[in-house]
Amino acid sequence: MVLAGLGHRFPRQPFLFRGVTATLLPNRVYALVGPSGSGKSTLLALLAGWLEPTEGRVHRTGVSRVGWVFQNPHGVARRTALDHVVLPLLVQGLTRRRARDRAQALLVEFGLGDAADREFAALSGGEAQRLMLARGIAARPDLFLVDEPTAQLDARTAARVSSTLAGLARAGTVVVVATHDAQTRAACTDTLDLVTAGVEPRPASGASGA
């Protein structure tokens, strides 16, 4: 997948970034970095095709299934953790029994084995976020966009999430991870820095060059 001269601005706002050009390959995990408010989540929305870029293009060759784990996890309050992961597997045509087995294995992989029967509303922030990751992976995306997956996790759990994302990439998925976390960034194979990649230095409005 190719990003060609991508730039974006919201109405009546300056450009967040411009001229972002990159080729994103399967088998790699890209860390999307930049300060808070620099446009990481916005760039993920452009990659997903949920938002049209102000300028430039996203060429999404070979990508039919896009998975996105949001910065703030949201699931169905009264549904169990297990059901959240079973659903995308049923959509793929697995039998209920095989879907449950696979879902349970994914939960264990994310350290949620004991939370399978708990309702979404009863999960902690970090548990809910890991559940969203497990659900996203269950859908076998070609492109997996993950927004701050480790922000609420302790270092050890974060390392486990990073290695699971690396495993997904090795299975052929393009993985893009927006993150502030140095450890998570270090676990990625490549870095896409919004500041160096595309933000045009913008003059303070009305100032004479301070």
Binding site for ligand ATP (CB under 6 A): 10, 13, 16, 34, 36-42, 71
Name the residue nearer to Mg ion (CB basis): 41 or 157.
41
Q: Which residues of 126-156 are buried (b: 16+ CB within 10 A; e: fewer)?
A: bbbbbbbbbbbbbbbbbbbbbbbbbbbbeee
Closest listed residue to residue 33, CA positions, set 161, 204, 185: 185
Residue 10 interaction partner, one of Mg ion, ligand ATP, none, beta carbon < 5-8 Å per kind: ligand ATP
Q: How far is Cα 8 from Cα 54, in angstroms, rounded to an integer?
A: 5
Q: Give the tokens for residue 160.
A: 């486990």
| Nearest approach, Cβ of residue 166 and ligand ATP (Å) | 22
Binding letters toward Mg ion, positions 53-92, x by CB under 5 A: ----------------------------------------
Q: Does 41 bind Mg ion (CB under 5 A)?
A: yes
Least distance from C-beta 71 to ligand ATP, angstroms? 6
Contact 157, 111 (CB under 8 A): yes
DSSP state, 193? E
Task: Please choose, from the candidates 158, 159, 149, 190, the residue with its C-alpha nearest in 3D space to the C-alpha of residue 31.
Answer: 190
Regarding 152 and contact with Mg ion (CB under 5 A), the answer is no
Judged by CB under 5 A, the number of residues near Mg ion is 2
Strands (E), 41-150: 55-59, 66-69, 143-147
Q: Which DSSP helix (H) or strand (E) runs through 127?
A: helix 125-138
Q: Which option in ligand ATP, Mg ion, none does residue 50 bind, with CB closer than 5 to 8 A by kind?
A: none
Q: Nearer Cβ to Mg ion, position 43 or 85?
A: 43
Select from 33-41, 85-93, 128-136, 163-171 the region that touches Mg ion (CB under 5 A). 33-41
- Nearest CB to ligand ATP, comparing residues 121 and 182: 182
Minimum distance, C-beta of residue 147 to Mg ion, in the bound complex (Å):
6
Q: Which stretch binds Mg ion (CB under 5 A): 35-43, 106-114, 135-143, 184-192?
A: 35-43
Smallest gap from Cβ 45 to Mg ion, in A, equals 10
Element (H, E) at 17: strand 17-23
CB of 83 to ligand ATP, least distance (A): 29
* Spatial separation of the C-alpha atoms in residues 113 and 81, rounded to whole Å: 10
Interacting residue ranges for Mg ion, rule: CB under 5 A: 40-41
